[in-house]
Every structure is written in C-alpha cells, then in structure tokens.
Chains A and B, each alone.
Chain A
Amino acid sequence: MGDILSNYDILGAFWMTIKLSVLGTVGALVLGTVLAVMRVSPVTTLRAIGTSYVNVFRNTPLTLLMVASILGMTYILGMSLSDDQQTNIFRWAVIVLSVYHAAFICEAVRSGFNTVPVGQAEAARSIGLSFGQSLTQVILPQAVRGSIAPVGSTIIALIKNSTVASVIGVSDAAGMMATIVENETGTFGVFLIFAVGFVILTLPLGMAFTAMSRRLAVRR
C-alpha cells in the first residue's frame, strides 16, 4: 500500500478531477442558466431550442458524448482545441461535461423559476422595469435561490461523472485508479483510497449547498 501511495501521484490525479469539475461546473452553470431563461421566455423559437437541447443531452449517455468528442470531433472533423494531445483531450472533456450537465442545471433552474409567483413579474413590469431588468433584478435572483438544492445535486453528480473523462485518456482520479489496478493490485484498499477521495470532494459540498439553500431561501 505504502508503495502505491509513494509511486503514484494520486493527489495530482485528484487535482485533475478538481480542475475538470470546477471548469465543467462553471460552463454548465452559465449554459444551463441561459437555457433555463430560453425555456421560460415568451419567444416560441427560443423555448423550442431550449427544450430540444435538454431532451437531446439529458437522454444521451455521457460516455458516448465523451468518446464522440474525440473520435468524432477531433479525429473525423479535425476540430482540435490544442496542438498538445493531452490539452486537447482535457478541453474536450470540460466541454462535454459542461454541455451534458447544462441540461440538468437548466431543469434545476427552471424548477426555481416555478417557485417565483406570477405576481412578482407583474409587479416588476408595473413599476416600469424592462423585460431584461425584470429578469435580472426580480425573477432570476429568486429563481436561483429556489434552485440551490437541485443545482447542488447536479454539481455533485458532475464531480463523480467527471470520472468518465478517463475513457478518452484524461489522467484524472479514475484513470489513475485503473492504472494502479492494472499495474499493481485491485484490493479493497485501492478502491477505498479513491472512494474516500471523492467523499472528501463531495460531502462538504453537499452540506454547504443544504446550508445555503436554507439560508438564502426566499421567505414568502
């Protein structure tokens, strides 16, 4: 066991998992919020685009998207995001994680929109706020507060789903575990190290989101 810990850069692998997760989360939050706004907008075309996006990406396996990004986008279509092979793979992994989880973030934020009573929008319009101002000043802040708990769940899922990036060769925690199992041994000890690693990443996050959803809840 000691050899494994000293011979393999497990912390480095988890650092890669953290980088994937943080960048993937940022992308998913931005894209997901835009999609949610599209899905509740009064414009039919925007609503249709938002709905199709969610249906396509929520119902496609993440592994398939991951593999398609390299085999399809890079090798067949030649869309390389960096001359360096490892960097290209990493960037595609971040994009796929963002694009896939944006569908779930969108639905979480949309459920937040549903917690905002119609009267809030009417009041916003009645004091002369424009559509954009009503959205950014009144509706979105309340929708976001109403969606903290489900968004938290999605982010935790994203962190664990980031392990799928190892299938296209990103050297994250899951990739490292596979390497160790292949080269050394597949004991429970090895699995435990990685399981504990993920618990350390996700458990405090889950607690933080629960606390935040209570503290920021909009009282009506």
Chain B
Amino acid sequence: MRRPARAPLDYFRRPFIRIMFVALLVFLYAPILGLMAFSFNDSKRNIVWRGFTLDYYEKAMANSELMLAFGNSLTIALVSTVISVTLGACAAYLLWRFRFAGKTAYEGMLALPIVIPEICMAVAMMIFLARIGWPQGLPWPLNLGAIIIAHTAFSFPFVALVVRARLETFNRELAEAARDLGAHEPQVFRDVIAPHMRPSLIAGGLLAFTLSLDDFIITFFTSGPDTVTLPVKIYSMVRFSVTPEVNAASTLLILITVALTATGMRLQNRNKIL
C-alpha cells in the first residue's frame, strides 16, 4: 500500500521532527527557565522546590548594593548606547557616502573589535585607562566614565555594521531625486537618507544597549569598587552562595532585555517601509 504523499509543510507530522523541535527548545531554554522558576522558590538553597514566594524579589529590591549596581548598569547602557549609535551611524554613513584611499582597510579595522577576544579587549582597556591616568574616585555618575568608554568602544562597531548594511539597500536615485527637486545636501540627508537609516538606528541602539547591559568581562576589568554593575554584582553574590535572590536579580535582567528587544522589534516593524 502506498503512503499518501506529504505536502512540504506536512513534515511536521513526523514524530522525529517533532522530537527534534522540542529538544532544541529544551536545550536552549531549560537552564533559563530553571533559573527563573527557582527565583520563586521558598528556600534558601536552589535545589529542592519548597513552594512559591516573592520574598526574594522583595529582598533583591531592598538590597541597596544590588539596586545601586542595577542603576549603574542602566546608566552605563543608556549613555554608551547614545554615544555608540551616534559614532556608529557617522562611521557607517561616511564609509557609505565617500570614497577615499585605504577605505577597505579602515572598514576592516572598524569591524575588528567584534572578533577580538573580549578578554584581550578588557585587559587592553584596563591597561590603557590606567596608563592615561583616568581619574579615580569621581562622584556618581562621572565615575562610570571609564566603563562607558570601554562599552562604547566595543559596541559602536556593531552599530556601524548594522547601519552600513541598511545603507547598502538605499536606492541612490532617491537622494538624486530629492536633490533634483530642490533639496540641498543637508535636506537630502534629513528627508531621504535619515528616514531610511532609522530602522537600523533602532536595531543598532538595541544591540548596543543589551551588549552593554549584560557585559561582564570588560566591565569587570574596568570597574572599581564604587562602580559595580549588575552582572559584576551578581557574580560577586554567587561567589558566596547561589541564593534565590541571585535568581531574582537575573530574572529581572532577562525580563528587561527581552522587553527592550521586543519593543525595538515592534518599533522597527511599524516603521518598515518598502
């Protein structure tokens, strides 16, 4: 007896494919879901489930050191994102708009921080900041300057890459049309090029923000005792013991990142044009 032919999309009915599908999801998310679940565990230890509680969220919220670290993280992420987007967009625009000697090499070097091992970047940053004598002990938020510089340095190439890719899809006849209709160069940029870049600015900004928010290695090497960020703080808490408070803080970090990404993607979709 012949088996009925399957349509291309019907293959999902095969058990093997279903199992693969579920296994992939489990592989990806089981640890994270475990972490989140145990943040509600009514126990000092993270091993056995003893009932639901929000105590550890309260505890985390009341932990002033943790909250300070959280505030530091957000401030650093915000400022370094703004700088990264500005620098990255400028770099991408210049590389797209102009031809000059050594452009290919320049482009390659711009992308290099993306592939350089983060630990090398971190050590380099630490030594560099020490060598130039970056001032220590400034009042908040100026004391975050070193970390902001370090974060900007590694995240703006990502922005440049995203914006550059977007500009590649720009139809240059649009700029010529604007020019032909009476716009001068700055107006062409404002009316035609910038609107085209916008989705990539949002995407690049989002990327920079999340990169900064969850960065550990570079931050660890460039932060001082007064400038602890959330990932560094979580790390130091874990060194004593993994309490559900750590889980709660981590869960908050995940939620913020996911929420931001979702918002960004929605903004991008709404602005999607042609």
Question: Is B one of A's binding partners?
Answer: no
Which B residues have a C-beta under 8 Å from some C-beta of A? Answer: none
